[in-house]
């Protein structure tokens, strides 16, 4: 379901930038629609892992290592692009990124969809950003698209 949600964002969010990070067949992958680095012009940049191989374990140490790899890529993106909003999918990915950002507390602002809160995080430098948390592989095909639209509508809250 997660990759169906990613595809829905790719086709449904105007200006969405899709960036795949990770390892496929023991080689590093950073696949983009173009060969350029993610630009700051797109309202949405989606970083994701490649689809898992058939029969791959979706939990356990290997899955947590992949989530940490995605968290590292997201940390680099946040550090260089300073977005106002993050939509984090999967608990291991969220823990990895929020730990790297030194976020120790999330304040719930509202619930964008059932079980998917909009929160506010304070970074150590005093910067605040909105963080949406979504369980991995949860929801319908349009769930990410809906969350992105609702998150972008929260500007100024």
Residue 60 structure tokens: 């356990």
Residue 88: domain span: 2-51+58-153
Residue-level length of the chain: 157
Domain count across the chain: 1
> What pLDDT, on the 0 to 100 scale, is given for residue 150?
86
> What pLDDT, on the 0 to 100 scale, is given for residue 21?
58
- Burial of residue 71 (number of CB atoms within 10 Å: 0-12, 13-18, 19+): buried
- Is residue 95 classed as helix, strand or coil in its secondary structure? helix
What predicted TM-score, i.e. pTM, was given to this entire model? 0.75
Q: What is the CATH number of the domain that holds 123?
A: 3.40.980
Please give the chain's pLDDT, 157 residues, in tens: 576 777 777 676 555 665 655 544 434 444 433 334 445 555 667 777 777 778 877 778 888 888 888 888 888 888 888 888 888 888 888 898 999 999 999 999 999 999 999 999 999 999 999 898 888 878 888 888 888 888 878 764 5
How far is 42 from 34, CA to CA, in rounded Å?
13
């Amino acid at each position: 379901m997660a990759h169906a949600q990613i595809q829905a964002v790719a086709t449904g969010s105007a200006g969405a930038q899709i960036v795949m990070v990770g390892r496929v067949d023991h080689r590093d992958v950073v696949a983009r629609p173009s060969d350029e680095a993610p630009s700051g012009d797109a309202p949405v940049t989606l970083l994701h892992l490649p689809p898992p191989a058939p029969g791959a374990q979706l939990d356990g140490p290997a899955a947590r290592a992949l989530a940490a790899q995605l968290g590292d890529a997201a940390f680099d993106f946040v550090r260089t692009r300073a977005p106002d909003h993050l939509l984090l999918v999967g608990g291991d990915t969220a823990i990895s990124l929020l730990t790297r950002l030194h976020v120790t507390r999330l304040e719930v602002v509202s619930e964008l969809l059932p079980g998917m809160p909009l929160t506010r995080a304070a970074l150590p430098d005093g910067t605040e950003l909105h963080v949406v948390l979504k369980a991995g592989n949860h929801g319908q095909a349009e769930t990410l698209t809906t969350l992105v639209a609702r998150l972008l509508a929260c500007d100024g809250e």
